[in-house]
Amino acid sequence: MVRGRALLNTAAVGPKFARQARMAEAGLPVPRFFCLSAAVFTRVLRPVRAEIDALLRRLDPADPASVEEKAAAIRELILRAPVPADVERLLYQAFDQEFGDDAVVSVRSSVVGTAGQQGEDSADDAFAGISDSFLYVTRDELLDKVKQCWASGFGSQALLYRSARGSTQHGFAVAVGVQRMRFGQASFVLFTCDPLTGARDRVLAAGLGIGEGVVQEKVPVDHYFVSRRNDTVRPVLAHKAERMVENPGRLADGPQLSAVPEELRDAPALTDEQIRQVVAAGDRIEKLFGCPQDIEGTFTADGALHILQARPVVLDLDRQRLWSNANITESYPGVTTALTYSFAQRFYREDFHDFYRKLGVPRDLLDRHENELRGMIGLLRGRVYYSLSVWYVLHGLSRTFPLWRNSFERMMGMSPSVYHVRPTPLLKPADQLPATAAALLRLTARWAIHVPAARHFGQWWQRTVTEHREAAATADPLQLAQLMRSLWREAGSHWGITLVNDILLQIHETMAMRLFDRWLPDADPGLHSDLLCGGEENRSVVILMSVIDIAERMRTLPALMDALATKPVEEVWDEVADGAYGTDIADRLRSHAELHGDRGLQELKLEVRVPRDDPAQLLRMAAEYARGDVTRQMLRARETDTRDAGEARLRTLLAGHPLRRRVLRSLVAGQRRYVNIRENTRYNRSELFGFARSVYRRLGADLAARGLLETADDVVHLTEEEILGTYDGTAVTDDLRGLVAVRRAEYEARGAELPMDFVTMGPVRDGLPDPTSGTVGEGTLYGLGSSGGVVRGTARVVVDPHEMGEPSDDMILVARETDPGWLFLMLSSRGIVVERGTLLSHTAISGRKFGIPTIVALQHATTRIPDGARVEIDGAAGTVTILEEDSA
């Protein structure tokens, strides 16, 4: 028998029981237990092993009758196998010492991997619900239930499961755990992440009675969705007419279904305080094991919490995508055109390729990640999103990433609900230190030369963009296309310095904030930002001051202000341009448009005009300032005063620590320097997009003149390559009007916006969250989506899987609930719909494990979905649409 700290030995008792032992050792409320090790199983089976192996060699996994026959024969062999006397003696001795001879226990089996196989509840394979468990076991029944647990390792469900997973039927043993029973009044299963997508929000399912009713889908279940962003709880309550309880006076008969008192049927299964307790325990368990967990537990009549089991949530992270527009929406608000998206996609590719090269990532390694470089942003329902999973993969190519990961996540506005849990792949231990040292040296060298390098970048860009503008002025359409490609080549060799600047800014900011927290814990929160004021003016400040200068001039022209108050701004601009209010104001507006005209609202969207194209916008902007009292002198004085006041507070707070003051001032000065560089290069980016805007407007006009587009403005519904390829012979179609018609229709009918951040699993379009929050149309039924994918097929309503004939190739299985005995039928289905169950149930887990679109908790599915009907199911949204009923 395995007891005490020996239970931590995974090789002896398997991951399931070793994990329980770790939780108990950490002080979590796990009921006492002991185990019969895998070695005991091997020893007991030794006399019948040859007969078992002979039966397994004749197993045909494709024939259900063969599977059942072999499983039954192996079961009889194991049940008849003699148990060594010393094993039997130690079993009863451990029972009496741990619990007392009149105790009632649960007896649970757990597959232990051998010969390279994974064990039950391992990080890669949950193997959930396949091995047998027995409740309310007394001392007299103990040995028989242990033998049945051993036999369940070769049960029909276990044989099918291993076959479907491509595993051998030999490389395992079965450990058995004996644990004190806790008679639950309300039981639960908690996922510390969304089991469908891996999003970090918790999902809690709870029902009345003991836990078997919840995990076996025998009773109605409440769901509680607990956000990590603010810990809010969204309950979805069920009508709980039944609960599973022990059979009073006849425990040997096992649990039974019992009616729930009327007053409890629509009340929450768990109180708010119990939900908080479960979530807090779940967070502890997740931290203990270092990955998301699937946790079973119960509350007894005295209100005590008991944790019965925990296993890793098995997620195929290669299929997961994290999405967020928390940061990027300010650049591309609302619905975006094909031209803007394709141009931005190219910009990210070129910018980051050069950035990673500057950090020392080898070119051949980047070449292998070309798909990721082209997929850093996605277009979902017409909106631009960061594909954060891709960012983590690419950032992880640099050994410096751990230095700036936290600040990167803060800059990107990472939600605690959408968080990367996959560890960054590491080099071999012998290669880690040299590779990391080399990367840090390269970053240090970049830091040393960064300021002059940034200055050089600015000079290079002004020279390059000026040359391209001058060449574009007289270029024909093919030459314009060549100029765009030329500009991309230039940008792809220089632009990465802007991202190096972001990294240096993030590092300085992180260091400064940590030292402020450590050295000035009681300082007002605004001190840090006040110290950032002042210093050298960056391009953004210069542009603002230019607008305010125009506004101050406009205040001296009452006739102009009166005209702006009574006439459309476009009409007033025409008057200004004709000299109606003097040449000075017209010259100032034209000069600003020439120098700073790419700065405007939504300046990175190529379908939107900016002041360079439409100076009336600048006139409108300046008029808003002119109607107020802001002046350049006022702004400069305010910034200087704020900075001086901050410096004075810093001197007071650190009066006795001059070295600390110098360190903080140096870090803040570095921040100011990198902020200025960032603002300067951000406007350079606006100029790049502005040049593209002017080129594509001209090409749009040319395409319209040639009859390839209906209007010049239609060009924004084509991608960059579709436009350029039309001129240089690389386009794949000449039907630009047809493309525009499709794209314009999509652009105008994008529908509801998706959440700010979310997670998809599998094909992205199949996994997008439902923005309608559960509303469904006529002919559509709604349950809980638990395994993503959209499929069509023929509904087969099944009450008893043993009475069903041969499944059809396009079968959508519709049932009241399933258990492991349905596995063969489930594996033969294109989709699964059940009336009961949870996101955490066997049905849901099996659907996700085998990639079958699955919906649970669709009330009255077996009567609302006609047998033989053609249906479409969306396993992510949880919808079933009845397409056509069988007339028969």
pTM above 0.85, yes or no: no
Per-residue burial over 563-588, b if 16 or more Cβ lie within 10 Å, else e, is bbeeeebeebbeebeeeebeeebbeb
Are 644 and 627 members of one domain? yes
| pLDDT surpasses 60 at 440 | yes
Identify which has the larger pLDDT, 439 or 13. Answer: 13
In a domain, 453, yes or no: no
Nearest to 515 by CA among 681, 659, 364, 321: 659
pLDDT band at residue 383 using 50, 70 and 90 as cut-offs: very high
In a domain, 371, yes or no: yes
Q: What does the pLDDT average to over 267-293? A: 94
| pLDDT surpasses 70 at 326 | yes
Final residue in a domain of this structure, among 287, 315, 343: 315
Residues 6+ positions from 221 with CB-CB distance below 8 Å: 205, 206, 207, 214, 238, 269, 836, 837, 838, 857
Task: Return the number of other C-beta atoms located less than 10 Å from residue 152's C-beta.
Answer: 24
Q: What does the pLDDT average to over 784-792? A: 84
Q: What does the pLDDT average to over 30-42? A: 93
Structure-block tokens of residue 749: 């009918």
Identify which has the larger pLDDT, 317 or 363. Answer: 363
Are 734 and 853 members of one domain? no
Q: For residue range 508-546, what is the model confidence (pLDDT) as tens digits? A: 988 998 999 999 998 887 888 889 888 888 999 999 999
Q: What does the pLDDT average to over 718-733? A: 96
Q: What is the pLDDT of residue 166?
A: 65
Q: Domain of 810: which CATH number? A: 3.50.30.10
Task: Return the number of other C-beta atoms located less than 10 Å from residue 662's C-beta.
Answer: 11
Q: What is the pLDDT of residue 330?
A: 81
Identify which has the larger pLDDT, 170 or 730. Answer: 730
Final residue in a domain of this structure, among 266, 289, 315: 315
Least confident of 40-49, 324-333, 404-413: 404-413
Cα separation, 813 vs 348, in Å, equals: 45
Q: What is the pLDDT of residue 644?
A: 93
| pLDDT surpasses 50 at 794 | yes
Residues in the chain, overall count? 888
Are 12 and 148 members of one domain? yes
Are 513 and 547 members of one domain? no
| pLDDT surpasses 70 at 361 | yes
Task: Return the number of other C-beta atoms located less than 10 Å from residue 102's C-beta.
Answer: 8
Q: What does the pLDDT average to over 669-697? A: 95
Task: Return the number of other C-beta atoms located less than 10 Å from residue 794's C-beta.
Answer: 17
Q: What is the pLDDT of residue 409?
A: 82
Q: What is the pLDDT of residue 349?
A: 97
Final residue in a domain of this structure, among 653, 683, 708: 653
Are 209 and 128 members of one domain? no
| pLDDT surpasses 60 at 333 | yes
Distance of CA 47 to the CA centre of its chain: 51
For residue 694, the number of C-alpha atoms closer than 13 Å in the C-beta half-sphere is: 22
pLDDT band at residue 788 using 50, 70 and 90 as cut-offs: confident
The sheet carrying 172-180 orders its strands as 33-36, 172-180, 105-113, 133-137
Q: Please name the amino acid found at residue 616.
A: A
Nearest to 403 by CA among 447, 371, 365, 369: 447
| pLDDT surpasses 70 at 173 | yes
Cα separation, 388 vs 393, in Å, equals: 9
Cα separation, 692 vs 340, in Å, equals: 10
Task: Return the number of other C-beta atoms located less than 10 Å from residue 816's C-beta.
Answer: 16
Q: Domain of 79: which CATH number? A: 3.30.1490.20
Q: What is the pLDDT of residue 254?
A: 67
Q: For residue range 827-868, what is the model confidence (pLDDT) as tens digits? A: 888 999 988 776 666 677 777 767 788 998 787 888 889 999
Helix (H) or strand (E) holding 173: strand 172-180
Least confident of 35-44, 309-318, 350-359, 796-805: 796-805
The whole domain housing 417 covers 323-424+472-520+655-744
Nearest to 105 by CA among 33, 16, 52: 33
In a domain, 451, yes or no: no
Cα separation, 741 vs 698, in Å, equals: 20
In a domain, 236, yes or no: yes
Nearest to 865 by CA among 813, 827, 818, 822: 813
- Look at residue 729 and give its three-state secondary structure: coil
In a domain, 436, yes or no: no
Q: What does the pLDDT average to over 423-431? A: 51
| pLDDT surpasses 70 at 430 | no
The percentage of the chain sitting over the pLDDT mark of 90, rounded to a whole number, equals: 57
Cα separation, 758 vs 751, in Å, equals: 17
Q: What is the pLDDT of residue 777?
A: 43
Question: Could you give the residue ranges of the DSSP H alpha helices within 133-261?
Answer: 142-152, 156-164, 211-215
CA distance to 13, 325, 336, 480, 679, per residue, from 608 (Å):
65, 20, 10, 20, 21
Q: What does the pLDDT average to over 873-885? A: 86
Assess contact for 454 and 677: CB atoms under 8 A.
yes
Least confident of 201-215, 240-254, 773-787: 773-787
In a domain, 441, yes or no: no
pLDDT band at residue 128 using 50, 70 and 90 as cut-offs: low
Are 197 and 262 members of one domain? yes
Least confident of 159-173, 185-199, 620-634, 662-676: 159-173
What are the φ/ψ torsions at residue 336 (nearest 5 degrees)? -120, 145
| pLDDT surpasses 50 at 687 | yes
Q: For the chain, what is the domain count?
A: 5
In a domain, 434, yes or no: no
Helical packing angle, 558-566 and 569-577, nearest 10°: 150
Residues 6+ positions from 63 with CB-CB distance below 8 Å: none
Instruction: Return mean pLDDT, the chain.
Output: 88
Q: What is the pLDDT of residue 838?
A: 66
Structure-block tokens of residue 777: 């149309």
Are 164 and 277 members of one domain? no
Are 682 and 605 members of one domain? no
| pLDDT surpasses 70 at 431 | no
Residues 6+ positions from 73 with CB-CB distance below 8 Å: 55
Q: What is the pLDDT of residue 787?
A: 81
Are 710 and 783 members of one domain? no
Per the listing, tokens 């009340």 go with 267
| pLDDT surpasses 50 at 774 | no
| pLDDT surpasses 90 at 365 | yes
| pLDDT surpasses 50 at 776 | no
Nearest to 407 by CA among 397, 395, 425: 395
Are 735 and 617 members of one domain? no
Contacts 24+ apart (CB under 8 A), 368-375: 369/393, 369/394, 369/397, 373/348, 373/349, 374/345, 374/349
In a domain, 237, yes or no: yes
pLDDT band at residue 785 using 50, 70 and 90 as cut-offs: confident
Are 290 and 336 members of one domain? no
Per-residue burial over 508-535, b if 16 or more Cβ lie within 10 Å, else e, is bbbbbeeebeeebeeeeeebbebbbbbb
Are 22 and 144 members of one domain? yes
